[in-house]
Amino acid sequence: MAHSTQTSLFLFLLLVSLGKVVSATLFTIENRCSHTVWPGTLAGNGAAVLGDGGFPLLPGLSVQVKAPAGWSGRFWGRTGCEFDGTGKGKCVTGDCAGGMKCTGGGVPPVTLAEFTTGSASSGGMDFYDVSLVDGYNVAMGVRATGGTGKCQYAGCVVDLNRNCPKELQVKVEGGRVVACKSACEAFKRAEFCCTGEHSTPQTCNPSEYSKMFKNACPMAYSYAYDDASSTCTCSASDYVITFCPNHSS
């Protein structure tokens, strides 16, 4: 036990000397939409499940969840949900396996916020983005707080549903557009999905649809190989994830 304690202390002091101490990351999730959003969460790499996988978030409210160092996963917003007292039910957009508490990812089209938080092996660096690769259902922004480095704002803060091309629209009864598909989801073609002979950055180029997404939301991923302008980095930061960040009422 004494040897283990000495080893742990040595590693801690080594990381301090290298400026690479990492700690838990606090995510504040807030809803500025005029309607309820049901955030969903999904952990990767065997990491901890945050917020029990999903919960309701009424307009004007926020919640906080804490992720351990090295956490990797995603957040998204579900809309038009109906759940019973046991948590069983469905959502019009962003639905997931598991009901209220997601055990799988959101069904496209869905706006995603993706994170890999710092670990000792990554030098304490966080990587994050907002992605439209799986389409769009609700405006979303990510702001880093208290970190060091570039710490860019990421997001798609406009309502893409208003200008979604007809061939990409997802509508509910009455004709209201509630989501906008990606070209991959809509057409299932390799050049849009970056699969098959189009599975490399050299052979998968932005399409007219991904360019439309990028022009509207330059701070978000628009297609699979949109890394250069869309992946953000920060160190020792907490994050605020906002649904409908431009909503003023």
**pLDDT tier for residue 122 given thresholds of 50, 70 and 90:** low
Are the beta carbons of 236 and 148 closer than 8 angstroms?
A: yes
**pLDDT tier for residue 120 given thresholds of 50, 70 and 90:** low
Name the pTM for this structure. 0.88
Helix or strand (DSSP H, E) at 30: strand 25-31
Question: Does residue 119 fall inside a structural domain?
Answer: yes
Q: Which strands, in side-by-side order, build the sheet including 125-131?
A: 38-43, 72-78, 112-116, 125-131, 232-235
Question: Does residue 42 fall inside a structural domain?
Answer: yes
Hey, what are 104's tokens? Answer: 């799988």
Question: Does residue 16 fall inside a structural domain?
Answer: no
What's the confidence (pLDDT) of residue 22?
58
What's the confidence (pLDDT) of residue 247?
67
Q: List helix spans (H) across the chain.
A: 2-18, 183-187, 190-193, 208-216
Question: Does residue 26 fall inside a structural domain?
Answer: no
pLDDT > 80? residue 112: yes
Average pLDDT across the chain, whole number: 90
What's the confidence (pLDDT) of residue 58?
98
Question: Does residue 14 fall inside a structural domain?
Answer: no
Question: Does residue 189 fall inside a structural domain?
Answer: yes
pLDDT > 50? residue 186: yes
Task: Tell me what the mean pLDDT of segment 16-45 comes to.
Answer: 83
pLDDT in tens, 5-18: 443 433 333 333 33
Domain of 232 in residue numbering reads as 32-243
Are the beta carbons of 83 and 100 closer than 8 angstroms?
A: yes
* Cα angle for residues 157, 158, 164 (degrees, 5° grid): 135
pLDDT > 70? residue 207: yes
Hey, what are 57's tokens? Answer: 């978030």
Among 54-58, 178-182, 245-249, name the one with the lowest average pLDDT.
245-249
CATH at 160: 2.60.110.10
How far, in Å, CA of 150 to CA of 125, rounded? Answer: 11
What's the confidence (pLDDT) of residue 35?
96
Cβ-based neighbour number of residue 65 at 10 Å: 19
pLDDT > 50? residue 249: no
Q: Which residues of 68-97 are buried (b: 16+ CB within 10 A; e: fewer)?
A: eebbbbbbbbbbbbebeeeeeeebbbbbbe
Question: Does residue 173 fall inside a structural domain?
Answer: yes
Q: How many domains does the chain have?
A: 1
pLDDT > 60? residue 1: no
| Percent above pLDDT 90 for the chain | 82
Cβ-based neighbour number of residue 227 at 10 Å: 10
Are the beta carbons of 114 and 172 closer than 8 angstroms?
A: no
pLDDT in tens, 187-199: 999 999 999 999 9
Question: Does residue 48 fall inside a structural domain?
Answer: yes
Helix, strand, coil % (nearest 5) of the chain?
A: 20, 30, 50
How far, in Å, CA of 41 to CA of 6, rounded? Answer: 37
> Is 177 strand, coil or helix?
strand
